[in-house]
Amino acid sequence: MTTLVLFRKEVTEHWRTYKSLSVAAVLLVFGLASPLLLAYLPELIEFSGDDQIVFEIPEFTAADAVINYVETLGQVGLITIILISMGAIAEERERGTIELLLSKPVGAGPFVIAKLMGLTTVLTAGLVAGAAGCYGYTVVLVGNPDALSFVASMLLAGPYLLVVMSVTLFFGAMVKNQIIAGVLALTLLISGAFLSSLPALGPYLPGSLMRWATDLHTGGARTASWGHWQSA
């Protein structure tokens, strides 16, 4: 019961501070931008380039738009989640409000679980908004992506961002300064990204979820021109 009360408090706070709307807006913008950029990239290059230089641009597919969005989630989504999570506990420790809350019949466990549940709600709303924008614009501008693979990609990207959130909350509980908490979380996650390149270790790290999310739309052969997995 205590956890549910704290969870409702977190959801209300996220709504009043526009944190939910901010995350949803950021992911929606990038969800719309991924197919939009690929659809109009040839025209942009034609308008900005020299007439004497010929650019050979591949014909983009719906899978390319989805892959582009998944890769954006692994970068912009990561930064966004760190920014909204780093102060969830650290800021309350810095202000001393956490001591007031825990002095009441509220345990540390329900407090942290409620924080995680509240931020997960914000993340879910953002992922749904971004996915809807990406899928809709991809259908209109590029083509029809495989719906089942698209949903599976989002279901793989979600747990990865949840790991990012959990790591940030952990450091937020360890230090009082939210900036330090965010830097520590980002450092650990970047280190994990480098470790993911190791064949013996990479498949077992959370970053593999994002690679699997892109593999669903490809055949497994990496192209040198675009640096992502594409079908042979």
By three-state DSSP, how is residue 229 classified?
Answer: strand
Q: How many Å apart are CA 28 and CA 41, to the nearest integer? A: 20
Q: Would you list the domain boundaries of the chain?
A: 2-35+61-218
Task: Answer positive or negative: Cα dihedral of 56, 62, 63, 67.
Answer: positive
Residues in the chain: 232
Mean pLDDT of 196-224: 76
Angle at the Cα of 228 from the Cα atoms of 226 and 232, rounded to 5 degrees: 95
Query: Bridge partners of 107?
Result: none
CB atoms within 10 A of CB 204: 10
Give the helix/strand (H/E) hosting 222. strand 221-222
pLDDT at 224 over 70: no
Cα-Cα end-to-end distance for the chain: 54
- Quickly state the pLDDT bin for 54 (edges 50, 70, 90): low
- Quickly state the pLDDT bin for 52 (edges 50, 70, 90): low
- pTM > 0.75: yes or no: yes
Per-residue pLDDT of 170-200, as tens digits, reads 998 888 888 998 999 999 988 888 887 788 8
Per-residue pLDDT of 126-176, as tens digits, reads 999 999 999 999 999 888 989 999 999 999 999 999 999 999 999 988 888
Task: Give whole-number Cα distances, 10 to 14, 62, 114, 194, in Å.
Answer: 6, 37, 7, 34
